[in-house]
Structures are given as C-alpha cells and as structure tokens.
C-alpha cells in the first residue's frame, strides 16, 4: 500500500503507518501484551514482540489474496 492508504488504515485501526523501505508502507498495531500486528496490502502478521518483527519471524500469518 502507499503512504496515504497506510495512514488511512492506521487511523481506522488506531495504529501507525510505517515505511518498511523503498515505497512499501505497513500498518503497525502495538498490543498491550507486547505483541505486534502488522498489516500490508497482502498479509496480516502477528509477532510475539518487536525482536521477532525485526527478524521477520511471525507467529501467525493471514494472506489477504
């Protein structure tokens, strides 16, 4: 998704728009239990913590296509 789309989705979900590099934008949803949900235009992933996100090791993944 582009920056505008990410910002709109982030606002709707009370998350934050985040640029992962190049022109790739994600929406980050930080949970109170330390887990992180990440939404792109292709997939939603849940990570156990920030370290797992940085290492690209999701605990759960849902493909949107």
Q: Over the stretch 3-18, which tens digit does the pLDDT of each residue have?
A: 999 999 999 999 999 9
- What local confidence, expressed as pLDDT, does residue 44 receive? 97
| DSSP code string of 5-50 | HHHHHHHHHT-EEEEEETTEEEEEEE-TTS-EEEE-SSEEEEESSH
**45, 32 contact by CB (below 8 A):** no
Domain residues for the domain of 12 are 3-63
Residue 13 phi/psi, 5-degree rounding, is: -100, 5
pTM value > 0.85: yes
Q: What is the mean pLDDT of the chain?
A: 96
At 55, is the secondary structure helix, strand, or coil? coil
**Number of structural domains the chain divides into:** 1
């Amino acid at each position: 998704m582009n920056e505008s789309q990410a910002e709109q989705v982030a606002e709707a979900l009370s998350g934050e728009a985040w640029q992962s590099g190049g022109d790739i934008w994600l929406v980050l949803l930080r949970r109170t239990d330390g887990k992180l949900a990440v939404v792109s235009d292709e997939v939603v992933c849940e990570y156990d913590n920030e370290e797992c996100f940085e290492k690209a090791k999701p605990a759960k993944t849902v493909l949107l296509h």
